[in-house]
Amino acid sequence: MLKQRVITALLLLAVLLPALFHSDPRAFIVLMLVFIAAGGWEWGRLNGLGQGASVVLGGVTLAVCVASWALGWHRDPQSVVWLPAGVAWVLCGAWLLRAGVPGWPQIAAPLRIVGGVLALWLTWLAVAQARVIGINFLLSALVLVWVADIFAYFAGRAFGTRLVARKLAPSISPGKSWEGVMGGMFGVVALAVAWVWADAHFGATVPSLYTLLAGAGWPLLLLVALGLAGMSVVGDLVESLIKRSAGAKDSSGLLPGHGGVLDRVDALLPTLPLALMLYSLLSR
């Protein structure tokens, strides 16, 4: 399993990194279209659609993204889009976790399907806009999720085994603990401080998310870093809740050793729209 995970990760990096650092943002934006379309297909399967209908849903997700690209929406982050999106993720995420696994099937199927397509579209649009803003900004949002996950893993293993681990959401994801969440938050705060220093030291031409926040005050930077780390956990838990309701271990087997696309982007679903919400509010 480990060998398979490593091979898949290396192949993904071999595709993602050249596209990410290409001088033309469209290279990365097109690649993200493929991943988001696959996510739409997975979403259909997790919500009880057949193979054919799930493929159609993937196509619909792709079409919505392409249409917004054709309209030029990828160029200009607007608070009129991202403020409602960010607020909706905070409120809906809290409600879904409160309702738990039994609450998911109680939501009307059409609403679940449309909600998933909307979440995936917003994620693609956030990635596209962030890449147009600049690689430094996009990476600062992406790395936040990875650092939160890595620090949570090691903190959970170090403290959750030596102490009596306080389970975060045992009915949704038994492996997650409050110790892990605290570790992830610590890692994100350290990342934010280090990135602000690096931007200033190396003279970044495009500010990172953290530098924008620090410009509005260090208390805001620390508060938002903690909040975004928490929302990355919310995204992870929401996807785990949906998989438990569907009786699935992974969203699919598209990425051997890693599960599916949704398994890799679940924490990004809320954090990227929130990052663009902050950008749209602070950069004016």
Q: What is the pLDDT of residue 217?
A: 94
Average pLDDT, the chain: 91
Domain boundaries, the chain: 2-282
The string of pLDDT tens digits covering residues 172-223 is 888 888 888 999 999 999 999 999 999 999 999 999 999 999 999 999 999 9
Q: What is the pLDDT of residue 156?
A: 75
User: How large is the average pLDDT for residues 97-112?
Assistant: 94
Q: What is the pLDDT of residue 161?
A: 56
User: How large is the average pLDDT for residues 110-136?
Assistant: 96
User: How large is the average pLDDT for residues 54-80?
Assistant: 93
Q: What is the pLDDT of residue 103?
A: 93
Q: What is the pLDDT of residue 165?
A: 59
- pLDDT above 80 for 163: no
Q: Of 38, 136, 91, 76, give the one whose Cα is nearest residue 270.
A: 91
Q: Alpha-carbon torsion 226, 12, 36, 43, what sign?
A: negative
- pLDDT above 80 for 158: no
Q: What is the pLDDT of residue 160?
A: 58
User: How large is the average pLDDT for residues 233-248?
Assistant: 93
Q: Of 172, 176, 185, give the one whose Cα is nearest residue 157.
A: 176
Q: What is the pLDDT of residue 75?
A: 87
3-state secondary structure the chain: CHHHHHHHHHHHHHHHHHHHCCCCCHHHHHHHHHHHHHHHHHHHHHCCCCHHHHHHHHHHHHHHHHHHHHCCCCCCCCHHHHHHHHHHHHHHHHHHHHHHHHHHHHCCHHHHHHHHHHHHHHHHHHHHHHHHHCHHHHHHHHHHHHHHHHHHHHHHHHHHHHCCCCEEECCCEEEEEHHHHHHHHHHHHHHHHHHHHHHHHHCCCCCCHHHHHHHCCHHHHHHHHHHHHHHHHHHHHHHHHHHHHHCCCCCCCCECCCECHHHHHCCHHHHHHHHHHHHHHHCC
| Tally of CB atoms within 10 A around 248 | 15
Q: What is the pLDDT of residue 173?
A: 83
The string of pLDDT tens digits covering residues 11-36 is 888 888 999 999 999 999 999 999 99
Share of the chain above pLDDT 90, in %: 75
